[in-house]
């Protein structure tokens, strides 16, 4: 299929008339993508800027041939970030499992719209069933439920919107008061975005200081709440983060939940990354108290290795959505279950549930648990090596699989300069991606081992290079 001539050639003919041509093109593209995935270890985690080629005509007058399209796709892949690399250690973005790749292909081919039951009947049932199952796993009530959204940011925005509306309905005269959200200084940037979206103003987010391990303390929360009470300011939501993006810390959810309950404040747990630890028997205790949340953000596209996007908003009482937010869709027929688009911020939505379904069917609970435990074990190994090097100092937090370190006995400028040089050399010489993170005014090197392909040799090479830079 060198060039598409007929309008029908742009699609898979539902009568099967061009099936062989479609298979040839799609198989060629799929095999090319798999060849790239299967050679990811030979390419750097982040592309070298000087290797990039011009993008060319982005909207040609006449469509290009299949071979030209494949060549352009190959160039895009070569110049994209490479999270499948065993050296991809700088971020909490996972590689995609084989199962989720297959699920994404199926989702695109059937192209159901998760807006309504009418347009995605069995997939609506599947998504709502998964939401209830995960809600039960976290210990939420029998009335709990949820749905998939376009990422943790959207989940956090909608959760805080529900918190605000719930507070308005329960508190007489609240509309005349200033409303605020309280969260850790390390809370994800989407919490600040949510405050802006909700129109709570520049002072609508109270960022509370954390301890030396990056955790929010109950005493700090109580002090802030007392000050707000004295100023006649209404707190509408306490946010506990289960896995901060910067250092992987988990706030003491039970302690914060107890405060929220006593004060009648909505508790939102942003567990986009760290909530996955609940599915490891060895580490589920780190999430103690999550069952007391009013809402939870949980992203299987992180530690469940599902291709992006796959992110849940879970609610302890799904019925609150009915009262607070549900907007009927006048242009679709009612189905046997809820129309997700009546409850979600989203309208049209991709069928992300398919790649989750295929992933969980292939891996099962045991496979997911093993992957999470592997990440913890890899991080523990790196920490042990760092501890053996006198000049390196570990950040005192082992909540998740984050490892942060800096150099002792150096000025902050010296420490930062050496870490920057080490990060650059690791990328150029070893295909290892290490990021730098600011915490409490100091720069730390950060490694987040997740992939099952992060073997001892990769980790040892990273530490040796860091030592060599110092010497």
Question: What pLDDT, on a 0 to 100 scale, did the predictor assign at position 335?
Answer: 65
- 94-128 confidence digits (pLDDT tens): 999 999 999 999 999 999 999 998 999 999 999 99
How many other CB atoms sit within 10 Å of the CB of residue 267?
A: 26
How many other CB atoms sit within 10 Å of the CB of residue 401?
A: 28
> Who's near 455: CB < 8 A, 6+ residues apart?
86
Question: What pLDDT, on a 0 to 100 scale, did the predictor assign at position 455?
Answer: 93
Residues of the chain with pLDDT > 70, as a percent, come to 96
Ranges of each domain in the chain: 7-80, 106-360, 364-470
Distance CA(290)–CA(293), nearest Å, equals: 5
Largest Cα–Cα distance in the chain? 74
Core vs surface per residue 133-155: b (16+ CB within 10 A) or e: ebbebbbbeeebbbbbbbbbbbb
Distance CA(233)–CA(191), nearest Å, equals: 19
What's phi and psi for 145, nearest 5 deg? -175, -165
According to the CATH classification, is domain 106-360 in 3.40.50.300?
no
pLDDT higher than threshold 90 for residue 308: yes
Question: What pLDDT, on a 0 to 100 scale, did the predictor assign at position 56?
Answer: 78
In 142-200, which residue ranges form alpha helices assigned H by DSSP?
A: 152-170, 189-197
Question: What pLDDT, on a 0 to 100 scale, did the predictor assign at position 271?
Answer: 97
Distance CA(331)–CA(338), nearest Å, equals: 14
- The mean-pLDDT minimum among 16-30, 333-347, 444-458 falls in 333-347
- Pick the closest to residue 256 from 297, 288, 234 (CA basis): 288
> Who's near 389: CB < 8 A, 6+ residues apart?
463, 467
Distance CA(214)–CA(251), nearest Å, equals: 8
pLDDT higher than threshold 90 for residue 470: no
- 213-271 confidence digits (pLDDT tens): 999 999 999 999 999 999 999 999 999 999 999 999 999 999 999 999 999 999 999 99
The CB-side HSE value for 461 (13 A sphere, CA atoms) comes to 17
Q: 351, 123 in Cβ contact below 8 A?
A: yes
- 38-82 confidence digits (pLDDT tens): 999 999 998 876 656 677 788 988 888 888 999 899 888 888 999
What's phi and psi for 439, nearest 5 deg? -150, 125
According to the CATH classification, is domain 364-470 in 3.40.50.300?
no
Element (H, E) at 220: helix 218-230
Residues of the chain with pLDDT > 90, as a percent, come to 78
Q: 250, 400 in Cβ contact below 8 A?
A: yes
Paired with 143 in beta bridges are none
- 431-459 confidence digits (pLDDT tens): 999 999 999 999 999 999 999 999 999 99
Q: Is the dihedral of CA 421, 424, 430, 436 positive or negative?
A: positive
Distance CA(85)–CA(75), nearest Å, equals: 17
């Amino acid at each position: 299929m060198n060039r598409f001539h007929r309008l029908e050639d742009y699609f898979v003919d539902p009568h099967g008339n061009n099936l062989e041509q479609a298979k040839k093109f799609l198989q060629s593209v799929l095999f090319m993508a798999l060849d790239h995935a299967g050679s990811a270890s030979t390419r750097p985690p982040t592309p070298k800027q000087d290797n990039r080629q011009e993008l060319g005509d982005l909207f040609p007058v006449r469509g290009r041939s299949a071979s030209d399209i494949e060549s352009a796709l190959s160039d895009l892949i070569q110049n994209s970030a490479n999270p499948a690399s065993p050296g991809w250690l700088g971020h909490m973005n996972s590689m995609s499992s084989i199962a989720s790749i297959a699920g994404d292909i199926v989702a695109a081919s059937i192209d159901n719209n998760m807006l309504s039951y009418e347009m995605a009947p069995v997939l609506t049932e599947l998504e709502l069933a998964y939401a209830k199952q995960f809600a039960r796993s976290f210990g939420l009530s029998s009335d709990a439920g949820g749905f998939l959204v376009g990422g943790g940011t959207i989940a956090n925005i909608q959760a805080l919107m529900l918190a605000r509306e719930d507070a308005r309905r329960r508190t007489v005269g609240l509309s005349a008061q200033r409303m605020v959200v309280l969260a850790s200084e390390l809370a994800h940037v989407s919490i600040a975005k949510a405050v802006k979206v909700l129109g709570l103003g520049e002072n609508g987010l109270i960022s509370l200081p954390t301890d030396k391990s990056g955790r929010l303390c109950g005493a700090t929360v109580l002090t802030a709440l007392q000050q707000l009470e004295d100023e006649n300011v209404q707190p509408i939501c306490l946010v506990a983060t289960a896995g901060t993006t910067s250092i992987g810390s988990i706030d003491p959810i039970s302690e914060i939940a107890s405060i929220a309950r006593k004060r009648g404040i909505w508790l939102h747990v942003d567990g986009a990354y760290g909530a996955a630890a609940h599915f490891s028997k060895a580490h589920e205790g780190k999430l103690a108290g999550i069952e007391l949340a009013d809402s939870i953000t949980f992203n299987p596209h992180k530690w469940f290795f599902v291709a992006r996007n796959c992110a849940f908003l879970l609610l302890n009482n799904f019925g609150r959505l009915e009262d607070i937010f549900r907007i009927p869709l006048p242009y679709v027929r009612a189905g046997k279950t809820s129309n997700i688009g009546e409850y979600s911020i989203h309208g049209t939505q991709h069928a992300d549930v398919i790649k989750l379904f295929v992933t969980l069917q292939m891996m099962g609970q045991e496979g997911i648990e093993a992957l999470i435990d592997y990440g913890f074990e890899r991080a523990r190994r790196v920490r042990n090596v760092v501890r053996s090097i006198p000049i390196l100092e570990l950040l005192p937090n082992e909540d998740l699989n984050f490892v942060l370190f800096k150099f002792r006995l150096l000025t902050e400028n010296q420490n930062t300069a050496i870490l920057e040089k080490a990060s650059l050399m690791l990328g150029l010489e070893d295909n290892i991606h290490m990021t730098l993170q600011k915490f409490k005014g100091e720069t730390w090197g950060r490694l987040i081992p997740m992939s099952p392909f992060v073997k001892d040799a990769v980790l040892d090479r990273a530490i040796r290079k860091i030592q060599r830079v110092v010497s």
